[in-house]
Amino acid sequence: MSPDHSLIKKTKDLLPRLIKINHATVDLKDRLEQTVLLIVEAFEVAFCGFFSLQTGGDHFILEAASDYSHRKEGRCRLDIKEENLRQAIQKKRPLIIAEWSNDFPKEYWQKIAGYEPRSFLGIPVSDENVTYGALVLLHDRPRAWVQEEVNLLDLASQEMAGMLRSTDVLLPSEERIVETLARENAGMVRELSTLYKISGHLMTTVSVDEIGKTVIKAITGDEGLGFDRAVICLMDEQEEVLKEVWRGEKGEESSARDIIIPLNKDGGALARAVQERVPITINANSDPVLSKIWFEGLDCADCAVVPIIAKYKVMGVIVVDSFCNNRAITKENVCVISMLANHTGLALDNARLYTFLDRTNKELVEARGLLAEAEKLAAMGEMASTLAHEIRNPLVSIGGLARRAIKVVNGDNGGKRYLEVIVDEVGRLEKTLNELLDYAQEPEESYAKKDLNHIVEECLELMHREFEEASITVKKDLKSIPLIWCDERQIKHTLFNILLNARQAMPGGGAIRVSSSVEEDDAGGYVTCTIKDTGGGIPEASLHNIFNPFFTTKKEGSGLGLAISYRIVSHHGGKIEVENEPGHGVAFSVKLPMNPEPRGHNVYKPKNKIKKQKLE
C-alpha cells in the first residue's frame, strides 16, 4: 500500500470522528482524552498527549494522555520545561524528530511514556490569537513523519484548538478540582435534601404500607433520587424467605407480584445481600432471581441490591435500577440508597413496634373485659351454689308437700286451689333456679361435627305448634353450609332462646325469617344462622344490656336466656350479632367458626369453688 493510500484512509477515519467528539456533550477533559486516543490508534504510535502551555509560557502541564499507566499520580500534573518544544510552539511550527539524537533531552519524555522514546512529533495547538499548548506523539522506534501526516495532525490540532476555544480557556487544574467538587457537592446537597425530606415523611407515619410506598416514590420519582425502577422485599421470618411487597416505576407505584425468594443459594444476589448484610451491584441479566424480580424478558440493567437493616436485624432489601437509559450504578448511588435503606429500616421498625403496642393494648383491653366477665361469673357461681342450697331444699319441701297436701285435701273447698297455686309457683321458681344454675355453671361440653341447618330445622320443629298458635309465619332460607364443630345441645339451646324471644316479641302474630349462610375469611370463616322477626325491635336504651344476665323486658323472664346464649356462642369461638330496627324488628345472627377446633380456649371458665373429693 502506498503512503498516499494509507494517508487517505487515516484522514477518512480520523477527521469525522474528531468532529464527532468535538460535538459530543462530554466534558472537555473527556473530549481531549478521546482525541489523543483516536490519534494513537490512527497513527499507530506508542503515545500521544496534549500539553497545555501555562501562564507565563515557561512550563507545560499534561492535560490528556493516551496512557497514564506510567505515572504514579492520578492526575496529569507533571511539569515539563522543554525549551525546544516551547520555541517551536511559539513559532507555530511542528517539532519533528525522526530519530532521537543526544542533543535533544529525553528524560522528561521517558518519564511520561514509561519507555525510551526514539522518535518525536510536537504540533502546536493554537489559533490566531492564543497558543493553547502542544500535541505530542512519541514512538518507541525511529519513525519518519511524512509531511501529509503532519498536515493531518495540524488539522486535528486546529480541531482541538476549537474545543479549547469553545470552553473559553482551559482552567488551571486546581480550579477544575474545585469545579468538579462544587458539581459533586451540588448533587450531594440535592440528594441529601431529598433524603431529609423522605426521612421526615417516614418518621411521621406508622403505617407500614405508607412507608413502603413513600420509599418507592422517593427512589423512582422525579423529585426523588431519579432511578427508574424499585422493588422492596421484606423478610418473612417464620418462613425465612424474602417476599416482594412494593414495586414502582418512574414515581408510579404498581402492585407487587407474588414473588418469594429463598434465603439460600437459589436466592441469588438478594439472598446474598441479606446474608452478608452488604449492598451488591450486579447486572440483572447475570442473576436469575433478579431478572425474575424485574419483568422477565424485558430490559435488565445494572441493579443495586441494598439490605434494609434496623437494630442489627435485616428486615428486607431494596432493589433499584435505571433500565431506561441503562445507566450504571455508581458507588455514590449505592451510598445514597443505603442511607435511604437505613431510614426505611428505622421507620419499619417503628411501625412494627407501634403495631405491636397497639395490638397488645387491644388484647389488654379485651383481657380486662374477659376478666371482668370472669369475675362476674365467678361471683355468680358462688352465689348460685349458695342459692342452690339455701333455696332449693325449702322449695323442694314446700312444693313436694303441697303436692302431697293436694292428694289429702278432700272436696273442693278452695284449699285445693290454693295448693295448686303454690305448686305452680314453686315450679316456676325451680325453673328460674335451674336457669340461673345453668348460667353460672361450666356447661358440660360434647363437641361433634354437626350440620347447623339440621339443628335449626329441629328447633323450628319444636316451636312449630307455638308459632302456629301465635299466628307467626316462618320463612326458611337455608343455604348449603359445611359441617361445624359444635355442641349440638348447647347450640339448640341458643337458637331456641332466640326463637322464643322472637315469639314473645310478636304476641299479635308476625313473621320470622330464618336463614343460613357461609362467610369466608382469613381465619377460616363462619357459618351464620340469622333469625329475624317483625316484633318491633329492641328500644335503643335497652340494646346494650340485652346480653347481661338478669336483664329482661318481659314480665315472666329470668333475663338469662340471651346471657346463656352469648356465653355458649363465645365458648364455641363464635359471636352473636344484633341488627336492630326499632319499630320494625330485630335480627340475631349466630356466627360459628368453621375451623376444625374452635373451642373457646381464651374464654375464662370459672372454677367451682366447692372442693371435690374423688372416690379412690
Partner 1 sequence: MEESKKILVVDDEESIHLLYREELEEEGYQVFSATNGEEALEIFGSNPIDLVILDINMPGMDGIEVLRQLKAQKPSLPVILSTAYSEYKHDLGSWASDDYIVKSSSLDELKTSIRKRLG
Residues that bind partner 1 (CB under 8 A): 384-385, 388-389, 392-404, 423, 426-427, 430, 434, 437, 441, 444, 608, 610, 612-616
* Residue-wise DSSP of 536-567: ----HHHHTTTTSTT--SSSS--S-HHHHHHH
Tell me the closest approach of the beta carbon of residue 362 to partner 1, in angstroms: 34
Rank residues 404 and 454 by Cβ distance to partner 1 and give the closer one: 404
**Beta pairing partners, 135:** 50, 123
Rank residues 278 and 396 by Cβ distance to partner 1 and give the closer one: 396
Tell me the closest approach of the beta carbon of residue 562 to partner 1, in angstroms: 22
- For cell 484522514, what's the residue? 11
Rank residues 416 and 575 by Cβ distance to partner 1 and give the closer one: 416
Cα(241)–Cα(264) distance, integer angstroms: 9
Return the C-alpha cell found at 376: 362476674
Rank residues 1 and 408 by Cβ distance to partner 1 and give the closer one: 408
Rank residues 401 and 543 by Cβ distance to partner 1 and give the closer one: 401
* Phi, psi dihedrals of residue 593, rounded to the nearest 5°: -70, 150
Cα(515)–Cα(518) distance, integer angstroms: 11
Cα(252)–Cα(230) distance, integer angstroms: 10
Rank residues 182 and 379 by Cβ distance to partner 1 and give the closer one: 379
* Residue-wise DSSP of 561-612: HHHHHHHHHHHTT-EEEEEEETTTEEEEEEEEE-SS----TTS--PPP-S--
Rank residues 387 and 483 by Cβ distance to partner 1 and give the closer one: 387
Tell me the closest approach of the beta carbon of residue 437 to partner 1, in angstroms: 6
Tell me the closest approach of the beta carbon of residue 439 to partner 1, in angstroms: 12
Tell me the closest approach of the beta carbon of residue 388 to partner 1, in angstroms: 4
Q: Kindly give, in sequence order, each residue whose CB lies less than 8 Å from that of residue 401, ignoring residues fewer than 6 positions away.
A: none
Tell me the closest approach of the beta carbon of residue 601 to partner 1, in angstroms: 19
Phi-psi region of 241 (alpha: psi -120 to 50; beta: other; left: phi over 0): beta
Rank residues 263 and 568 by Cβ distance to partner 1 and give the closer one: 568
8 Å CB contact between 547 and 501: no
Cα(515)–Cα(520) distance, integer angstroms: 17
Rank residues 168 and 616 by Cβ distance to partner 1 and give the closer one: 616
Tell me the closest approach of the beta carbon of residue 559 to partner 1, in angstroms: 21
Rank residues 558 and 589 by Cβ distance to partner 1 and give the closer one: 558
Q: What is the DSSP letter of 388?
A: I
Tell me the closest approach of the beta carbon of residue 587 to partner 1, in angstroms: 34
- For cell 511539569, what's the residue? 79
Return the C-alpha cell found at 398: 314446700
Tell me the closest approach of the beta carbon of residue 392 to partner 1, in angstroms: 4
The closest alpha carbon to 278, from 331, 225, 237, 328, belongs to 331
Tell me the closest approach of the beta carbon of residue 243 to partner 1, in angstroms: 48
Cα(124)–Cα(456) distance, integer angstroms: 106
Neighbours of 1 (CB within 10 A): 7
Rank residues 118 and 392 by Cβ distance to partner 1 and give the closer one: 392
Cα separations (Å) of 69 from 75, 113, 173, 439, 490? 11, 9, 20, 94, 91
Tell me the closest approach of the beta carbon of residue 205 to partner 1, in angstroms: 54
Cα(419)–Cα(329) distance, integer angstroms: 100
